[in-house]
């Protein structure tokens, strides 16, 4: 093992004496000084590079702070509506049994509805619904609704223009596939037709400045429906006028109450005038703590008809009342009672009791089972059973509360 010692004078010369007696080649003094200078220069260059990098970083951070301070801050995010339409297809498939008629059991694709909904710009949106319905063994296309809705009118006003379901009662504006029962109440079919009151024109709604409860007044002027039991299109300058006042109260965190008043006036098929007045009441209980598992809805509507038929007037009325209870997260049980005259004959009427059990697999699919019995003074009692499957492809818009 070699051991080396470095003498003081040898440190200056850069030579080393080892214990083995072998002397290493001394480093010349010029080369040693050059090496020291190179080390000093490299150290200063590294320090200068670090200083420059730190200065650049500090300048970049200062620039970023200045740019952030120059940008205006917005307290609320700016809303930019998307012009890409929300497209969905809703299919209603049915199978039923009836105690009357030569064919007691049948099934059909009742309706396929396509909906297109989109914001046109920040000032308006468009809603278009096209239906392919099963009618007498064939499928027929129909434009159900196509209207524009304003979004920025002053004084809490909103305008709808086009073809739309009139604001009448509680359920007329709701499409049949979205209703919690499998068939439309008799008072709607007898007074307004199988599809309800659907017309072309303009609708203006006003959110009243009421600080105590929610209040909305809607006034509509339309050209006259093509198919209706009470009203008709008139070749002259006569139109259909509709008014509805909606009153809504939050009774508590769990309970709400809604009261609606309807008024309709317009020409009928005999070129006379028909008037209909209506009242709808809806009470809802939906506990805040268990709102996905329990709820209760009590709902009732009644309509009074005053129809002129040449030299006399027919006064008739109709109503329905229902109870809808949520059994579990996806199960609903509904019971409903119907009674209705027809606008042309107050002596003809029908009554019915029905029950619907609904299984909502998701918000895009539901299966409903319904049974119904009907009776009246002019026909024998009938019994019906109905199964309905409704499924949605695409976006699923929110329904009216």
Domains, the chain, ranges and CATH? 4-52 (no CATH), 88-394 (2.40.160.10)
DSSP 172: T
Q: Kindly calculate the radius of gyration of the chain based on its CA atoms and give it in whole angstroms.
A: 40
CA gap 56, 339 in Å, rounded: 85
* pTM of the predicted structure, to 2 decimals: 0.77
Residue 363's pLDDT is what? Answer: 87
CA gap 226, 221 in Å, rounded: 15
Residue 70's pLDDT is what? Answer: 54
Concatenating the DSSP letter of every residue in 223-253 gives: ---SS-SS----SSS--EEEEEEEEEEE-SS
Pair 187, 340: CB distance under 8 Å: yes
Concatenating the DSSP letter of every residue in 172-225 gives: TTS-GGGSSSSS--HHHHHHH-TT-SEEEEEEEEEE---SSSEEEEEEEEE---
**Residues whose CB falls within 8 Å of the CB of residue 389, separated by 6 or more in sequence, listed in order:** 92, 93, 94, 365, 366, 367, 368
Residue 81's pLDDT is what? Answer: 56
Residue 317 belongs to what H/E stretch? Answer: strand 312-326
Neighbours of 4 (CB within 10 A): 11
Helix (H, G, I), strand (E, B) or coil at 13: helix
Place of tokens 């000084």: 33
Task: Give the bridge partners for 254, in sequence order.
Answer: none
Neighbours of 270 (CB within 10 A): 13
- Using 50 as the pLDDT threshold, list the residues of the chain that sit under it: 1-25, 27, 43, 45, 47, 49-56, 73-79
Q: Which of 167, 235, 163, 227 is nearest to 199 (CA)?
A: 163
**Cα 157 from chain centre:** 21
- Provide the CB-side half-sphere exposure for 133 (13 A, CA): 12
CA gap 146, 281 in Å, rounded: 29
Neighbours of 358 (CB within 10 A): 22
CA gap 262, 279 in Å, rounded: 6
DSSP 83: -
Helix (H, G, I), strand (E, B) or coil at 25: coil
Q: What are phi and psi of 186, to 5 degrees?
A: -60, -35
Concatenating the DSSP letter of every residue in 374-399 gives: EEETTEEEEEEEEEEEEEEEE--PPP
- Provide the CB-side half-sphere exposure for 353 (13 A, CA): 1
Q: Which of 316, 395, 328 is nearest to 359 (CA)?
A: 328
CA gap 301, 279 in Å, rounded: 6
Residue 42's pLDDT is what? Answer: 55
Return the structure tokens found at 99.
């105690």
Return the structure tokens found at 43.
């150290």
């Amino acid at each position: 093992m070699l051991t080396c010692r470095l003498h003081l004078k040898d440190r200056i010369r850069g030579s080393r004496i080892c214990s083995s007696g072998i002397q290493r080649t001394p480093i010349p003094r010029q080369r040693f000084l050059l090496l020291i200078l190179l080390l000093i220069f490299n150290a200063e260059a590294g320090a200068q590079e670090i200083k420059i990098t730190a200065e650049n970083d500090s300048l970049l951070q200062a620039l970023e702070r200045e740019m952030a301070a120059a940008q205006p801050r917005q307290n609320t995010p700016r809303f930019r509506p998307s012009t890409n339409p929300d497209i969905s297809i809703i299919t209603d498939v049915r199978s039923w049994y009836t105690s009357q008629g030569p064919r007691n059991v049948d099934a059909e694709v009742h309706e396929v509805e396509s909906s297109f909904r989109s914001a046109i710009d920040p000032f308006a949106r468009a809603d278009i619904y096209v239906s392919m319905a099963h009618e007498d063994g064939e499928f027929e296309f129909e434009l159900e609704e196509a209207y524009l809705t304003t979004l920025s009118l002053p004084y809490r006003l909103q305008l709808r223009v086009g073809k739309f379901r009139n604001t009448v009662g509680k359920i007329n504006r709701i499409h049949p596939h979205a209703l919690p029962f499998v068939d439309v109440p008799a008072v709607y079919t007898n007074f307004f037709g199988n599809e309800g009151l659907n017309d072309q024109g303009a609708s203006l709604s006003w959110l009243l400045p009421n600080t105590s409860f929610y209040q909305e007044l809607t006034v509509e002027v339309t050209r006259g429906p093509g198919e209706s039991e009470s009203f008709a299109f008139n070749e002259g300058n006569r139109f259909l006028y509709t008014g509805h006042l909606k009153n809504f109260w939050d009774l508590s965190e769990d309970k709400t109450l809604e009261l609606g008043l309807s008024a309709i006036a317009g020409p009928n098929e005999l070129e006379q005038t028909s008037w209909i007045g209506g009242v709808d009441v809806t009470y809802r209980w939906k506990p805040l703590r268990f709102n996905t598992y329990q709820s209760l809805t009590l709902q009732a509507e009644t309509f009074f008809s005053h129809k002129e038929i040449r030299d006399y007037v027919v006064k008739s009325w109709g109503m329905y009342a229902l109870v809808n209870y949520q059994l579990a997260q996806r199960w609903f049980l509904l019971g409903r009672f119907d009674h209705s005259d027809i606008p042309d004959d107050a002596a003809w009427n029908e009554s019915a009791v029905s029950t619907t059990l609904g299984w909502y697999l998701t918000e895009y699919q539901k299966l409903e089972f319904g049974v119904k019995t009907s009776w009246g003074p002019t026909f024998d009692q009938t019994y019906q059973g109905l199964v309905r499957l409704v499924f949605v492809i695409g976006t699923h818009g929110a329904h009216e509360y």
